[in-house]
Amino acid sequence: MGQPAKSRKTLTAHELAARLTASTTSRQFGFTLREASSEAVVIGMRVAKRHLQVHGVVHGGILAALADTAGGLSIYFHLPHGSRVATVEMKINYLETVARGEVLARAQVLRLGKNLGVVDCDITDDAKRLVGKALMTFAVIHRGAKQKRGRRG
């Protein structure tokens, strides 16, 4: 994947951390930025009682939110300030259950085009087991682009 043009200013790791902290969802779930570079973004979450479903393991929706957050932030590293992304598709496989410890989502941009970005994400526990695998597609909304609204018919 090509690097962004040098004339465009992209977000820094510090700005990504601030964006994560500003997210109500990230604060509620306890997501923290562990690593950020143009190669990958890693988001962590310490498992708490609020994350567990009735069988005592982390709810799949929370793991999906963790992967989605890491994926979105990984694309921001390659976009100029003022750009936005929105998840348009996500496929996730849950491979193992997680009941305690820490979970990490490591997201890497596979392909970034003009309007779409594809991201791969590994979700691991603190024993380094691969507990989930996600593939996501994000719409890229460039600064100043007008949003189209669908018609109701």
Q: What is the pLDDT of residue 55?
A: 97
Burial degree of 121 (CB within 10 A; 0-12, 13-18, 19+): buried
75-79, 107-111, 124-128, 145-149: which range is least confident on average? 145-149
pTM of the model: 0.86
Domain 13-141 has CATH 3.10.129.10: yes
The DSSP bridge pattern shows strands 41-46 and 84-94 to be unpaired
**Domain range list for the chain:** 13-141
Q: What is the pLDDT of residue 5?
A: 41
Q: CB–CB of 42/70 below 8 Å?
A: yes
Compute the mean pLDDT over every residue in the chain, rounded to the nearest whole number.
89
CA-CA distances (angstroms) from residue 132 to 12, 78, 88, 102, 146? Answer: 27, 25, 19, 14, 36
The DSSP bridge pattern shows strands 31-36 and 130-141 to be unpaired
For the stretch 41-91, pLDDT in tens is: 999 999 999 999 999 999 999 999 999 999 999 998 899 888 999 999 999
Q: What is the pLDDT of residue 51?
A: 97
For the stretch 89-108, pLDDT in tens is: 999 999 999 999 999 999 99
